[in-house]
Amino acid sequence: MHDPNCVFCKIIAGTIPSNKLFEDDEVLAFHDINPAAPVHFLLVPKRHIATLAAVEPGDQSLLGKMMILVPQLAERQGCGDGFKSVINTGPNGGQEVYHLHIHVLGGPRPWKRATI
């Protein structure tokens, strides 16, 4: 399921280019276009899920897969000594794009922005 108005769905479909880090049949990881840290990438499910609050019990394996991938991909990007992972949810949670995504940030501190 895709939302034709969702920027991340367009990235997944390839109609908006991205700098991909990882892709399989369920997820896509790509560099953030406005990085807040030396390493800043996003991990998104290919299926459109608007927010973390919208996940259902059937999404358990997908969410588990994403959480397993986060440290693996962070390590590949040189974040062996630590990284930050963030899921913003809803308007008061700072979510800007309504497609579930995990921000992964790392690299030498201080970063340009303290929060995501």
Active site amino acids: 101
10, with CB counted inside 10 A (0-12, 13-18, 19+), is: middle
Residue 104 and residue 79: Cα distance in Å, rounded?
10
Q: Who contacts 34 (Cβ-Cβ below 8 Å, separation ≥6)?
A: none
| Cα–Cα distance, 52 to 71 (Å, whole number) | 19
